[in-house]
């Protein structure tokens, strides 16, 4: 079957190294449209998408994430990140952070939006990795200042992020296990 959406779904994989090349304005506009086109429960749309292309801000978020992991006391995890280059967010040219107002379906809505972004990125010739890791820097009292610096209103919490850019490595998609499908015909 020739189908561009299916191609994007089936060829997407998590990429953890990016070229230092910025996205074009056209790519950024398309990604913003994809984020805003995401469906939300009861069409609530109480989401904020923070598009960060500023290298200094990406570096600050990366450092804050690493610091929080260090301070969490999970030494093995911290050392594994250091061994892999010490960049838990992979220094991409674009990070999108998704915040949402508290609500029963807020995490589901954010998951849908982040996959919209991942697939839109793939269809634009870009790659991505979904990032839960920024939570370490954005949650709790320590993260409040950084969150406020993004202009996020109170009542909105960090849900999920995504790194997007041109890949500087290869990774095959994960294996699909057909036994996870339960068919009731
Ligand atoms: C909710 C969620 C959070 C994730 N957070 C991270 C993360 O913080 N860092 C990371 O390197 N990968 C993260 N990933 C990527 C997963 O590890 C990856 O999707 C999984 O290993 C399957 O690989 P694939 O995406 O290449 O198919 C996350 C994925 C999801 C869905």
pTM, two decimal places: 0.97
Element (H, E) at 4: helix 4-11
In a domain, 9, yes or no: no
- CA-proximal residue: ligand 1, atom 19 (nearest): 14
Contact 8 CB / ligand 1 (< 6 Å): no
Average pLDDT of the segment spanning 19-29? 98
Contact 94 CB / ligand 1 (< 6 Å): no
User: Which pLDDT band, with edges at 50, 70 and 90, does 3 fall under?
Assistant: very high
In a domain, 179, yes or no: no
- From 69, 81, 130, mutation site for ligand 1 pocket: most ligand atoms within 8 A of C-beta: 130
In a domain, 118, yes or no: yes
Contact 13 CB / ligand 1 (< 6 Å): yes
> How are beta strands 127-131 and 47-52 bridged, if at all?
unpaired
In a domain, 100, yes or no: yes
Question: What pLDDT, on the 0 to 100 scale, is given for residue 36?
Answer: 98
pLDDT digit string, tens, across residues 89-132: 999 999 999 999 999 999 999 999 999 999 999 999 999 999 99
- CA-proximal residue: ligand 1, atom 1 (nearest): 132
pLDDT digit string, tens, across residues 43-66: 999 999 999 999 999 999 999 999
Domain count, the chain: 1
User: Which pLDDT band, with edges at 50, 70 and 90, does 1 fall under?
Assistant: confident
In a domain, 172, yes or no: no
Structural domain including 116 reads 15-167
Question: What pLDDT, on the 0 to 100 scale, is given for residue 49?
Answer: 98
CATH number at residue 53: 3.40.109.10
In a domain, 153, yes or no: yes
pLDDT digit string, tens, across residues 125-136: 999 999 999 999
């Amino acid at each position: 079957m020739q189908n561009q959406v299916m191609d994007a779904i089936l060829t997407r994989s998590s990429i953890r190294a990016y070229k230092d090349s910025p996205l074009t304005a056209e790519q950024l506009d398309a990604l913003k449209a994809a984020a805003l086109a995401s469906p939300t429960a009861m069409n609530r749309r109480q989401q904020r998408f923070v598009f960060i292309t500023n290298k200094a801000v990406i570096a600050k978020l990366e450092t804050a994430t690493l610091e929080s992991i260090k301070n969490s006391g999970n030494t093995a995890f911290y050392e594994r990140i250091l061994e892999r280059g010490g960049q838990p967010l992979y220094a991409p040219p674009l990070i999108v952070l998704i915040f949402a107002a508290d609500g029963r379906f807020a995490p589901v809505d954010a998951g849908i939006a982040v996959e919209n972004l991942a697939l839109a990125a793939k269809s634009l010739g870009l790659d991505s990795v979904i990032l839960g890791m920024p939570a370490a820097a954005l949650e709790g009292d320590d993260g409040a200042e950084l969150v406020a610096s993004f202009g996020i209103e109170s009542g909105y919490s960090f849900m999920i992020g995504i790194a997007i850019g041109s890949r500087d490595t290869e990774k095959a998609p994960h294996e699909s296990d057909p036994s996870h499908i339960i068919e009731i015909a």
